[in-house]
Structure 1
Amino acid sequence: MGNAPKAVADIVDRFRNPSDFCCSGQHKETDLRNEFLDPFFEALGWDVSNKAGLTEVFKPVIHEESIKIAGATTAPDCTFRIGVRRVFFAEARKHAGHRTQERGVLRVSRTTHAD
């Protein structure tokens, strides 16, 4: 993981080597958020659980915010903001459980972003 903080490296390692429970189909998207995504972004310095007690307008992370994109309403799991400006979104998905499938997704991403 190079120069990543130890907490981030530990979370990534746990995700790369999932337990049988994680891949059993019993693991839901909420479990993924609670066990991997929220701690990952907290380790990167994002106040995912609003420990600062900020009002909705100033929270750096909004959960399931309803927004319109290209005329359609959607609600990403997390909207990350700096001030009131949206910076990026995160959407939790169940772990695929098969490394060959994961490599396929990575390959498609690389091909798509190579253009």
Structure 2
Amino acid sequence: MITYNFGDVVVVDFPQIGIRKRRPALVILDIGDADILLAPITTKERKGKGDYKLRDWSESGLLRESWVRIAKISCLEKSDISMRLGQLSDDDKNTVIKIWKTLYKFS
């Protein structure tokens, strides 16, 4: 079974009402089983609390300026992933981690 790492950018078939849309996503967590935790990536400008404009989007294998939607995570099956595009830069990964920590505080 393929293993993914935090920061990998993949292409996945996201389920939507009655259809599946192929979209880029950021790997948040892969614990080694059949499922994976992902955050969608979009080219539409987003300014929500959990949205982050990738600084180094082209280094990540993305074709256009993109935003990762950290507050919109999904647990999907790894079999829904069609390919790995690349990896976030260290700067982008560090910023995603900071945003994650502000969104998901556990006490």
Structure 1 and Structure 2 fold alike (TM over 0.5): no
Taking structure 2 as the reference length, the TM-score comes to 0.28
Would you tell me which structure has more helix in proportion to its own residues? 1
Relative contact order (alpha carbons < 8 A, sep ≥ 6): 1 or 2 greater? 2
Would you tell me which structure has more strand in proportion to its own residues? 2
Taking structure 1 as the reference length, the TM-score comes to 0.26
